[in-house]
Amino acid sequence: MYSLLKKMLFINKDNPKLPDLYRFLIFFIRPLIQQTGVTCFVACPNKPWGCNLEAFVCYLLAKPEQKRIYILNFGTTPSDEISRQYPDYNEKIKVIDARMSVALLNCVCKAKIFFANDYENYELPGPIVNLWHGIALKKIGTFQRKRLKKLGRKFKQVICAAAQMDQCIMAQAFGMAIDRVIPSGLPRHDWMAGRIEFPLRFKEQAEKLELLIGDKKLVLYAPTFRDENRNFLPLTTNQLHQWATLLAKHGYILGIRTHLTAQLTIKHNHPNILDLSGAIYHHIEAIYPLTSILVTDYSSVCIDFMLTGKPIIGLDPSELDYSRGFILDFDTLFPGKFYTNFTIFLQDCEKLIANAQQPLNHFDYTLQKKIFLGHYQHNACETLHQKLKKLYPKYF
């Protein structure tokens, strides 16, 4: 009996579907109180608030027709910390903790349209726009595993994509009609190359990192996860120390950032290595402007970083195949030179940083930009907004 009541009345933050009783009440209440210009963003479970969701919130807050933005917080960022980010818009934005039952019900009933950015099926009563958090470089969805074929049901509404190529990949990966995938560009790219300002905590992160970097230049090492071992790091401690020592000679410092889903602690005692993990610096977008060179392996951070025009280098000396696989030939997709031999990488890295200002030491990303970013014109949020207004005219 207790488990039945719990299912009917309470939300599980780890499996955030609306309880049965809520769905029953929403059916009657929502038609009476829903309001145009009221939008709900769902901060996904077990992750910090940010990425495309927050970038689009920052854009909508400046729109006079936007009356209210609710943030339904299932994530790891405290609700009061989210509220603090937008001091000029206190009357427009309200953050609701998932445990606040009455406030949550009010939010879901009033909102005309909902935004998410993950795999969850929240069973929300209105149109759901999924501002997908990544770009398809690695295989996702039904390209990855047979058991994920049900994902198409979760994306039956609309999903945001970076470009036409991404549009085709997303439609196939999630079993969607291609016209339900909007190739608008990703909202977070407007932080890097558009006109949307960083939230308050992004600026605080950047200031904190600037103090640590001092008069040096930052090389950001950002490897991705491996499905079979989330805590795998392609480099040994000795290799990291060799690299950091080399960088120090030329006035550079090494920052290491593992994937958000990894629980890896970077253990070192080298004075020229910074731990830039997600536990300390939640948002990589705040790190990009301070980064001089990006080194990664199979992560799509290389696609975002192309917008800076700075050098990108690939590195994986582990001799282990990346089991998930890629949507196309990886050597064609990766924007820059990729190294599997650490000794050769160190030699070429030294040449690059010693002559970093020479144009020959930068790479031409024209093909990769066309594939992954399409015709991005520094206005992804505006493009997405206009396309959604045409698709859902009565919801904006």
- Domains for the chain: give ranges and CATH numbers: 2-134+186-195+378-395 (no CATH), 200-372 (3.40.50.12580)
E strand or H helix at 70, and its extent? strand 68-73
- pLDDT at residue 214 tops 70: yes
Q: Round to whole Å and give the CA distance between 178 and 288.
A: 32
Neighbours of 25 (CB within 10 A): 15
Contact indicator for 380, 115 with CB cutoff of 8 Å: no
Mean pLDDT value across residues 317-335: 85
First to last CA, the chain: 42
Please indicate, yes or no, whether the overall pTM of this predicted structure exceeds 0.95. Answer: no
8: pLDDT confidence band, cut at 50, 70 and 90? very low
Question: Out of 67-81, 97-111, 257-271, which region has the weakest mean confidence (pLDDT)?
Answer: 257-271
Distance CA 169, CA 372 (A): 11
DSSP 149: G
Identify the pLDDT of residue 4. 44
pLDDT-derived band at 197, boundaries 50, 70, 90: confident
Higher pLDDT residue, 279 or 289?
289
Residue 265: what pLDDT?
A: 66
Contact 58, 199 (CB under 8 A): yes
* Rounded-to-integer distance, Cα 39 and Cα 107, Å: 9
**8 A C-beta contact, residue 184 and residue 383:** yes
For 223-242, write each residue's pLDDT tens digit.
Answer: 988 877 777 788 888 999 99
pLDDT (tens digit, 9 = 90+) per residue, 135-193?
888 887 656 555 555 555 555 678 999 999 889 888 888 778 898 899 999 999 999 99
Question: For residue 2, what pLDDT is reported?
Answer: 39
- Give how far Cα 163 sits from Cα of 86, 121, 293, 388, Å: 30, 25, 25, 16
Q: What is the DSSP secondary-structure string of 366-386?
A: HHHHHHHTTT--S-HHHHHHH
The pLDDT of 48-54, averaged and rounded, is 92
Instruction: State yes or no: pLDDT of 285 exceeds 80.
Output: yes
What mean pLDDT comes out for the span 20-26?
76
